[in-house]
Amino acid sequence: MSKIKNITYAKAINEAMFQSMKLDKNVVTMGQLIDYQSGVFGTTSGLVEKFGSKRVRDFPVAESLMTSAAIGATVAGLRVVLVHIRIDFLLYSLDAITNWLSLWRFKSDNRSNIPLVIRAIVGKSWGQGPQHSKSFHSWFANLPGLKVAMPATAFDAKGLLLESIFSEDPSIIIEHRSLFNLKDRVPIEPYRVKYGEAIIRKKGTN
C-alpha cells in the first residue's frame, strides 16, 4: 500500500505534475508565469529546473493563442497541461474550446483525439475585482466531449489531474484559489481518481 502524507492542495497538484512528467516524456506544461519560482501559487514550482524550458513553456498574455497552440501540440502527439491562471480570461479561448477541442473526436469519426488538460484557476485575494472571481464549471460541463472536474480536496486534485493527463479525452480541471492551502492525506505514489465514481464521505441511515 502506498505511503500517505499530509500535504496541501497546491502541493498535491505539484506532485501530480512532477510524477506525470517523469512517467511520460511527452507530458509538457504551458501557461503564463509557470516557470517563475513561485510557480502559479506553488503548483508548478521546480518544474522548469527539473524538466527544462522545452517541456515547461511560459506564454505571453494571449489566452486564445495559448489555447490554440496547446491544441496543436496535443494533436501532434504531446500531452499538454495548459494552465490558465485566471478562468475569467479563459473565455478568450471559447471558440477553440467549443468548436474544436470538445468536438475533435466526433469530427474525426473517432480516428483522432486531443487529450489536452486545462487547469483553470478561480479567485484570488482581496483587491482583485469581480473579473477574477467567477466560475464557469456549469458552462463547460454542457459541452459534449469535454470532461470537467472541480476537485475539493488535495486527494482528489492529484488523482483527477493524473487521470486527466493520461486519459484520451480533453479535460478542464477548475481549481479554487481558496483551496490551495488546505491539507489532506495524499498517497505519495501516483494514483488516479476516475471521473463519475462518487466517494462516500459519510454513510447515512434510511
| Model confidence pLDDT, tens digit, residues 111-139 | 889 999 999 998 765 556 677 777 788 88
Query: Which candidate, 90, 151, 89, places its Cα nearest to that of 116?
Result: 90
- Section 141-162 average pLDDT: 95
The answer to whether residue 85 is domain-embedded is: yes
Could you report the per-residue pLDDT of 73-84, keeping only the tens digit for each? Answer: 999 999 999 999
Q: What is the pTM of this model?
A: 0.91
Q: Which of the residue ranges 2-6, 27-31, 135-139 would you say has the lowest mean pLDDT?
A: 135-139
The answer to whether residue 187 is domain-embedded is: no
Total count of domains within the chain: 1
Do the beta carbons of residue 182 and residue 9 sit within 8 Å? yes
Q: What percent of the chain is modeled with pLDDT above 90? A: 71
The answer to whether residue 150 is domain-embedded is: no
Average pLDDT, the chain: 91
Please say if the pLDDT value at position 104 is more than 70. Answer: yes
More confident residue, 79 or 203: 79
pLDDT at 65: 94
Distance separating alpha carbons of residues 133 and 141, to the nearest angstrom: 19
Q: Which of the residue ranges 133-147, 166-180, 185-199 would you say has the lowest mean pLDDT?
A: 133-147
Do the beta carbons of residue 42 and residue 14 sit within 8 Å? yes
pLDDT at 198: 79
By CB atoms closer than 10 A (0-12, 13-18, 19+), residue 174 is buried
pLDDT at 123: 72
Print the domain residue range for 65: 4-145+172-181
The answer to whether residue 158 is domain-embedded is: no
pLDDT at 126: 54
Give SS3 for 167.
Answer: coil
Catalytic residue among 84, 132, 137, 176: 132
The answer to whether residue 197 is domain-embedded is: no
CATH number at residue 46: 3.40.50.970
Would residue 132 show up in a list of annotated catalytic residues for this protein?
yes
The answer to whether residue 199 is domain-embedded is: no
The answer to whether residue 157 is domain-embedded is: no
The answer to whether residue 206 is domain-embedded is: no
